[in-house]
Amino acid sequence: MNRLMIVTCISLFSFSTWAWGPAGQTITVALSEKYLSSEAKIKISKILKGQTLASVATWADQAKNGPEWSRTASWHYIDREGLDSKNDQINEPADVRDAIAFCQQKLESGISENEKLVWLKFLVHFVGDLHQPMHVGNPEDRGGNLTKVSYKGKTVNLHALWDSSFIQEQKLDVNSYVEKLVRQSRPRKALLETFSADTVIAENLDMRKFLYSFQGGNIDAKYSSRALEVTDERLWTGGIRLASLLNEIFK
């Protein structure tokens, strides 16, 4: 099997080739950089060696399509209907909730700066993934990938619609999108709260009724308007929570 065929197969059996889409991932991480503590900024800058945190936001999506990290394809989502208990120590993640905890364990251990860079790149991406509502996926349709809808005259699967379409609708580049969210003076209380993946998962499960509330496979103006609001809220909350988690890790 040649490399192209391998990549194609991996993509087909993952929930999504791009999670939140490259723009959504980068917006989340770029926003988090604005709310990092001074200590976290210094320590993260040392790991990144001149890169910005936002510049590595999509690395994990690229990595899962290569042989070294192909096992991480299932780390980008969780397809359970509810929550079960989890162990404090995770040897091999099964889903995005495990993966976030695993990355945190790695970053808080005595590994090298080069190893920290790898797990930091995974961590920022997975926190973004977790806030994409379809990444707490309905197993029946593979997180919306098997559900086709009509949006502005085009047929698209529901997962892809939430990954990118509503972000693209606003026609803003990453910096402009981040500045828009900041100007809206949204709540920042999550900066003072301990990050909880279970809280995010519960929020997304609560949204599921709305996610599938379209009629006859058509995304109408009412659904689209609400979806734009939800998208902005999840991008903002994901960025703020990522900052909180990084501030805790790199205190």
Topology at the third CATH level for domain 3-249: P1 Nuclease (1.10.575)
**CA angle 169-171-173, nearest 5°?**
130
Higher-confidence residue of 95 and 89: namely 95
* pLDDT-derived band at 192, boundaries 50, 70, 90: very high
Is the distance from CB of 73 to CB of 143 less than 8 angstroms?
A: no
Q: What average pLDDT score do residues 186-202 get?
A: 95
Is the distance from CB of 214 to CB of 149 less than 8 angstroms?
A: yes
- The pLDDT tens digits for 5-58 are 333 333 333 334 345 789 999 999 999 999 999 999 999 999 999 999 999 999
Cα 16 from Cα 151, distance rounded (Å): 19
Q: How many H helices and E strands in the chain? A: 11, 2
Residue 84 has a pLDDT of: 58
Backbone angles phi, psi at 149, to 5 degrees: -135, 160
DSSP-assigned states of every residue in 70-131: GGGGGGG-B--SS-----SS-SS-SSHHHHHHHHHHHHTTT--HHHHHHHHHHHHHHHHHHH
Q: Domain extents for the chain?
A: 3-249
Torsion sign across C-alpha atoms 149, 174, 23, 243 = negative
Q: How many CA atoms lie within 13 A of 67 on its CB side?
A: 4
Cα 48 from Cα 126, distance rounded (Å): 18
Is the distance from CB of 245 to CB of 195 less than 8 angstroms?
A: yes
Q: Is 178 exposed, middle or buried (0-12, 13-18, 19+ CB in 10 A)?
A: buried
Is the distance from CB of 156 to CB of 148 less than 8 angstroms?
A: yes
Phi-psi region of 105 (alpha: psi -120 to 50; beta: other; left: phi over 0): alpha
* DSSP state, residue 172: -
The token duo for 176 is 């402009």
Cα 125 from Cα 130, distance rounded (Å): 9
Single-letter code of the amino acid located at 81: E
What is residue 213's three-state secondary structure?
A: coil
Residue 137 has a pLDDT of: 87
- The pLDDT tens digits for 47-90 are 999 999 999 999 999 999 999 999 999 999 998 654 555 556 77
* pTM (two decimals): 0.89
